[in-house]
């Protein structure tokens, strides 16, 4: 039975956010005819211009929602204006109330949040939008480090299944996971091979957006972050960090999230993982020493952080010794015979 998808576009949408997911479903449809079909819809047909200036033909927002199985909102620079499109927001609310599965790519999650579809639920978005997201939608449990998040349906509360993803290519990860959910791992693996992408980039893997890129150079926490980098073994609990910033713990935690888009604990973990990765790639021979120097306390805690943020264990980042030359080993010179 086909899954009928409505890709929701708006002026200024990002073409890659659409093309990547569409390619996943195209390959699935090719492997299993009748598995997926789709249409492009918008609140202002017959065409929508992308952020690259290319017009895309679209149909209007469907009145009948019983013929749609998945609504996928595409992201892009135009999402802020789209969040003010009352007609589009109301249509998304109707779709959710009808129990239609909902998904977003990149900053498209802001539109889902504007429609109230993510309140009290976990979601992610492109890292560059995380600060804005946290400020505008505090009721959402934002996880800015995640590549994608799936929230199962809660029928007793009338909440549909919701998938959100991070920026651009993470939309492919989301759609591969969705494909595996719908039709099994084999079909998702075949699609990944055709696209020449990694099949299992874990949803919890970091977006690889360094905290420095999320931090304003003149931000109030720049000095604090520099202090942490100099000694990652120090007490990094919220109370200790708040004291260094001369703020109450609650006020500090709220302001830190607003400015950096990450909680203090997430920021500390990010800094420790980055420092440990650099030491391991630089040839540090002792994983335990790296774990201690970077404030993890033990190797198991460091391993869990690496898996959560990088999707690979610390050993995967160990500097490899040069490959020995091929051929038989050189003979050692024979020691001179002792005089008799």
The CATH number given to whatever domain includes residue 180 is 3.40.50.880
332 domain residue, yes or no? no
Domain annotation covers residue 340? no
Indicate whether 170 and 78 sit together in one domain. yes
Q: How far apart are CA 88 and CA 43, in angstroms?
A: 6
- What is the β-pairing status of strands 162-165 and 101-104? parallel
Query: Does some domain include residue 323?
Result: no
Indicate whether 139 and 111 sit together in one domain. Answer: yes
Q: Say whether both 177 and 91 belong to one domain.
A: yes
Mark whether 186 and 115 lie in a shared domain: yes
pLDDT value for 2: 86
Looking at the structure, do residues 221 and 153 belong to the same domain, yes or no? no
Tokens read off for 136: 């505008």
Q: Within this chain, do residues 41 and 174 fall inside the same structural domain, yes or no?
A: yes
Residue 30 resides in a domain: yes
Task: Give the pLDDT of residue 340.
Answer: 38
pLDDT at 327: 42
User: Is residue 324 included in any domain, yes or no?
Assistant: no
pLDDT at 225: 85
Shared domain check, 237 and 188: no
Asked whether residue 221 falls in the same domain as residue 172, the answer is no
Domain-terminating residue out of 195, 226, 241: 195
Within this chain, do residues 151 and 30 fall inside the same structural domain, yes or no? Answer: yes
Domain hosting residue 307, numbered range: 211-317
Same structural domain, 138 and 219 = no
Flag whether 234 is in a domain.
Answer: yes
Q: Do residues 248 and 222 touch, judged by C-beta distance below 8 A?
A: no
What average pLDDT values come out for the chain (340 residues) when binned by 10 residues? 94 96 96 95 97 97 94 97 98 96 97 96 90 93 85 88 89 92 89 79 48 54 84 93 93 87 87 86 81 94 88 77 41 44
Beta-bridge partner residues of 165? 148
Q: Is residue 326 part of a domain?
A: no
In a domain, 175, yes or no: yes
The enclosing domain of 308 has a CATH number of 1.10.10.60
Question: Among the three residues 195, 228, 262, which one is the final residue of a domain in this structure?
Answer: 195
The span from the CA of 267 to the CA of 64, in Å, is 45
| pLDDT score for 260 | 78
In this predicted structure, what is the pLDDT of residue 324? 40
> Are 49 and 76 within 8 A, CB to CB?
no
- The dihedral region occupied by 241, where left means phi > 0, alpha psi between -120 and 50, and beta the remainder, is alpha
**Size of the chain, expressed as the number of residues it contains:** 340
Give how many domains the chain has, as a whole number.
2
Residues 191 and 215 in one domain: no
Same domain, 251 and 216: yes
Q: Which of 195, 224, 239 is the last residue of a domain?
A: 195
- Kindly report the number of other CB atoms within 10 A of residue 15's CB atom: 16
């Amino acid at each position: 039975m086909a899954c009928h998808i409505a890709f929701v576009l708006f002026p200024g949408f990002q073409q890659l956010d659409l093309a990547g997911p569409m390619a996943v479903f195209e390959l699935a449809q090719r492997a299993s005819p009748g598995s997926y079909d789709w249409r492009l819809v918008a609140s202002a047909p017959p065409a929508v211009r992308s952020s690259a200036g290319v017009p895309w033909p679209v149909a209007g927002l469907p009145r009948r929602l019983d013929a749609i199985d998945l609504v996928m909102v595409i992201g892009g620079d135009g999402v802020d204006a789209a969040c003010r499109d009352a007609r589009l927001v109301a249509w998304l609310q109707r779709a959710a109330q009808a129990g239609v599965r909902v998904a977003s790519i990149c900053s498209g999650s802001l539109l889902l949040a504007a429609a109230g579809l993510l309140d009290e639920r976990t979601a992610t978005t492109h890292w560059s939008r995380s600060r804005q997201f946290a400020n505008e939608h505090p009721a959402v449990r934002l996880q800015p480090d995640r590549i994608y998040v799936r929230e199962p349906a809660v029928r007793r509360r009338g909440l549909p299944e919701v998938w959100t993803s991070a920026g651009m290519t993470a939309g492919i990860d989301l759609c591969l996971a969705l494909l595996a959910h719908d039709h099994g791992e084999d079909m998702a693996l075949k699609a990944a091979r055709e696209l020449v992408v990694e099949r299992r980039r874990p949803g919890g893997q970091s977006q690889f957006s360094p905290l420095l890129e999320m931090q304003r150079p003149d931000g109030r926490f720049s000095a604090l972050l520099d202090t942490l980098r100099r000694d990652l073994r120090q007490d990094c609990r919220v109370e200790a960090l708040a004291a260094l910033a001369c703020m109450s713990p609650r006020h500090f935690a709220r302001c830190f999230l607003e400015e950096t888009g990450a909680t203090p604990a997430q920021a500390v973990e990010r800094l420790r993982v980055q420092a440990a990765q650099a030491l391991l790639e630089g040839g540090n021979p002792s994983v335990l020493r790296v774990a201690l120097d970077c404030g993890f306390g033990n190797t198991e805690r460091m391993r869990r952080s690496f898996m959560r943020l990088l999707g690979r264990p610390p050993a995967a980042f160990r500097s490899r010794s040069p490959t020995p030359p091929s051929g038989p080993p050189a003979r050692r010179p024979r020691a001179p015979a002792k005089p008799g």
